[in-house]
Structure 1
Amino acid sequence: MKLLEATLNLHRVWRQWLWLVLGCVLVGHVALAQAQQESFTRIKAVKLEPARNAQHPGWNLAAEFDIQLGQRLRQALDRGLPLQFAVDFKLTKSRWYWMDEETASASYTLNLSYNALTRTYRLVMPSGAYNLARYEDAVAQMARVSDWPVLRKEQVKIGEPYNAQVRFRLVLTELPKPFQISALVNSEWDLSSEWLSFEFTPRQELLK
């Protein structure tokens, strides 16, 4: 009898352990599926570089983003809804006696749409327009910004420190009204990175 009870107890322990493992696996799959359905973006790299145009000295922005359109956004795009995105830049200077002074600001807009007849994605950027067969190629092109003039020499004081900020976002105000309302209550439409801040001190020698 004791041997039988011990065997039954061992079976019960194994069943409980098995259910626990299966439960963990199921939770992991659900979490992964949810993560794949959500939209997100983050900034992978960003820097200010001296402009190549000697007649208009200043600094250009180069940045790289990690962008993922969630399931709802992707479906809306593939059904013909054009999406507008923006890269925002701000430069501020700290003031001990008041709020930070905004020295410069700029926005870089990108428009992404899908043509069901030609089965191509069209991406319009300040640097040009692109027709791409694959969604992945369109997002990869959209995720890189280079040689974007954001700052003129006369806007800053050489040698003084400034705080630069950059972010990537979906422009919700450009969506049709029903989609704007949906975006207010549905996180799947929330495609906006946090502001990435970094210190920038303009140097005269870099402009030569």
Structure 2
Amino acid sequence: MLAPLAVLMLVGVLLLSWLPFGAAAQGRAGASVTQMRLEQADDGIYLTAAVQFELPSLVEEVLDKGIAVYFVAEAEVFQERWYWTDRKVAQVTRHMRLAYQPLTRRWRLNVSPVPITGTAGFAVSLNQNFDSLGDAMDAVKRIGRLRLGDAADIGDESLHQVVFRFRLDTSQLPRPFQIGVVGQADWNIVAERAARLPLEKQR
């Protein structure tokens, strides 16, 4: 007789073999970081990035019903140290809330450095309005001028280790939707890229 743990492992293997080839990687392969640039301006160091992905039809249907969808972009800069682990010298996060306005038939994008929940996030958010979902998504995918800090904080190395992450944040969906999207690849929009970037002078 098989032990309980062995039975569970056998069931897991059978389920994986039953899934269509590539299904497990569908969500992971749906988004990619196509651009990263580190720039120095008079008032600090900025990161510009671009993400490429197709918005799944299921997410579009949710947006069309007037339910907001949230995206999060995050960047970290590390100082390389040969004698110890790399030291994090900067971190910044950008929260984006995209929603359809039925009365005006326009799309509104709120951009904030803090989570857009309640009045606090809306109070510090930048609002942009778009005539089409395509235009609004183009703005979501272009992550411009993420301020990482002052030049003195980042350091004067010729190359800087930067990690950029982008994701669709399902934790801010209404509770019934949070339960319903568990395990659905359409909601697994995630992209990450690490690179050693030169510090360019802002044009």
TM-score scaled to structure 2, two decimals?
A: 0.71
Q: Give how far 1:42 is off.
A: 1.7
CA contact under 8 A between 2:28 and 2:190: conserved in structure 1?
no
User: SS at 1:142's partner residue?
Assistant: helix
Task: Specify the alignment match of 2:111 in structure 1.
Answer: 125
What secondary structure, in the 3-state scheme, does the structure 2 residue paired with 1:184 have? coil
Aligned pairs for 1:156-171 (under 5 A) are 156-159=154-157, 161-171=159-169
61, 81, 99: which one pairs with 1:113? 99
Identity of aligned residues (%): 24
RMSD, aligned α-carbons: 3.0
Once the two structures are TM-superposed, the CA of residue 182 in structure 1 deviates from its matched residue by 2.6
Letter in 2 for 1:188: D
Structure 2 counterpart of 1:94:
80
Shift of 1:100: 2.9
Residue matched to 1:197:
194
- Name the structure 2 match of 1:175: 173
| Max Rg structure | 1
Q: What does residue 52 of structure 2 align with?
A: 66
What TM-score, normalized by structure 1, do the two folds share?
0.69
Higher relative contact order (CA 8 A, sep 6+): 2
Amino acid at match of 1:73: V
How much has 1:120 moved relative to structure 2? 1.3
Letter matched to residue 67 of structure 1: F
3-state secondary structure, aligned to 2:190: coil
Unaligned runs of 5+ in 2: 1-26, 113-124
Distance 1:150 1:47 in 2: 12
Stretches of structure 1 that go unaligned for 5 or more consecutive residues are 1-36
Give secondary structure in 1 for the equivalent of 2:138.
helix
Aligned to 1:45: 35
Equivalent AA in structure 2 for residue 130 of structure 1? Q
- CA contact 1:40–1:70 (8 Å) conserved in 2: no
Q: Distance in 1 between matches of 2:133 and 2:28?
A: 17
Note the C-alpha offset of 1:82.
0.5
SS at match of 1:91: strand
- State how many pairs are aligned: 168
Q: Specify which structure has the higher proportion of strand.
A: 2
Shift of the 182–97 alpha-carbon distance from structure 1 to 2, 3 Å rule, reads: farther
Comparing 136-145 with 156-165, greater Cα deviation is found at: 156-165
Q: Secondary structure at the match of 2:136?
A: helix
Question: Are the equivalent residues in 2 in contact too, given 1:39–1:70 (CA < 8 A)?
Answer: no
Name the structure 2 match of 1:24.
Answer: none
Q: Is the 8 A contact 2:37 2:197 kept in 1?
A: no
Q: Do the aligned partners of 2:38 and 2:46 also contact (CA within 8 Å) in 1?
A: yes
Q: Given that residues 52 and 141 in structure 2 are in contact (C-alpha distance below 8 angstroms), is that contact kept between their aligned partners in structure 1?
A: yes
Q: Within 2, Cα distance between the matches of 1:164 and 1:118? A: 40
Query: Which letter does structure 2 place at the counterpart of 1:170?
Result: L
Whichever structure has more helix as a proportion of its residues is 1
After superposition, the C-alpha distances for 1:55-113 in whole angstroms (9 at most, x for unaligned) are x3x21111222132211111111111101111110112334454432221111111100
